Amino acid sequence: MKEFPSCFGENGVQVADSSSSSTIRAAQNVVTCVYQCKLGGRSCLITVSWTKNLMGQGLSVGIDELGNRCLCKVDIKPWLFSKRKGSKNLEVDSSKIDIFWDLSGAKFGPGPEPLEGFYLAVVFNQELVLLLGDLKKEAHKKVDCDYAHSNAIFIAKREHIFGKKLYGAKAQFCDKGQVHDVTIECNTVGFNDPCLVIRIDSKTVMQVKRLKWKFRGNHTILVDGIPVEVFWDVHNWLFGNAMGNAVFMFQTCISAEKLWAGQSVSDPSVLTWAYSQQFRDSQLQGLGFSLILYAWKNE
């Protein structure tokens, strides 16, 4: 089985076993986003990981080419004791890569990903390939580029979410589309027949009864008129230990048959990344968006 490119490998979010739920939660407070872009005429993936721990907020930017070769990776340390504004200059294969960021006035929600008041820009040979954040004017003043607009496409996101019965996340299932509230509801404590309910913007789009018999499965929903395949694995919630997590994947434009075909892996987390690799290959052909959620119970 192939794995994700090294810059988007599991090591970026893999958490060591621990008996402390607070330790696990701190270690897993990371959101990883993947963007498809063009660098010098070749398709590449830019992976941006936002982290949060006791030392403050952190940031990592990795760039992969299609051959699964990591061109570069830049780690920006948590900025409790360092600058929230700066730049990194790299030279890779005789090409110049510049990364600029300004999070000095960034506003954050409960997670590590900034909501507003920031910018992050990646420049390849004086061409802007990725621009994130709402401070676009400030970014353009800082970045000396031949082209002012980024053509990067947001293709995948994964994050860890926490709750007791309700788990929430936000998702944008098509490029420049509406941002939706995704809510997962499942109470597995004290119920002989637990039920799984998924809502988009408070509207129920999926309900799974007899969950003990259907702890893994898939179902197609419609969001903005787009078919979205939902995969779930709640085995650890129902039959694992109290520290176990459930895995949910929301994918556009990929059929269940293609994703499930040939998969014989029993570990749900490994199986999820098998889906992700196949999805990544399809993403590079411009076929959709993937959201992977690891749902952890707060005990």
Taking only the tens place, the pLDDT of each residue in 74-126 is 888 776 656 788 889 888 878 899 999 999 888 988 888 998 999 999 999 88
70 within domain boundaries:
yes
175: left (phi over 0), alpha (psi -120 to 50) or beta: beta
pLDDT band at 189 (very low <50, low <70, confident <90, very high): low
1 within domain boundaries:
no
Averaged confidence pLDDT in the chain: 77
Task: Please give the distance of CA 66 from its chain centroid, rounded to a whole number.
Answer: 19
185 within domain boundaries:
yes
How many domains is the chain built from?
A: 2
Same domain, 113 and 58: yes
Distance in angstroms (rounded) separating the CA atoms of residues 20 and 94: 47
Same domain, 144 and 194: no
**Last-in-domain residue among 101, 121, 151:** 151
SS3 190: coil
241 within domain boundaries:
yes
282 within domain boundaries:
yes
**Last-in-domain residue among 151, 186, 220:** 151
Taking only the tens place, the pLDDT of each residue in 26-36 is 546 889 999 98
156 within domain boundaries:
no
Q: Could you give the C-alpha distances from 198 to 160, 168, 172, 178, 209, in angstroms and in order?
A: 17, 10, 16, 18, 12
Please name which of 139, 95, 145 lies closest in space to residue 117, comparing C-alpha atoms. Answer: 139
pLDDT band at 260 (very low <50, low <70, confident <90, very high): very low
pLDDT > 70 in the chain, percent: 72
Please name which of 157, 178, 174 lies closest in space to residue 287, comparing C-alpha atoms. Answer: 174
Query: Which domain does 124 fall in, by range?
Result: 6-151
Same domain, 11 and 99: yes
Give the N- to C-terminal CA distance of the chain in Å, as an integer: 34
34, 54 Cβ separation under 8 angstroms: no
Residue 127 burial class via C-beta count within 10 angstroms: exposed 0-12, middle 13-18, buried 19 and up: middle
Same domain, 25 and 147: yes
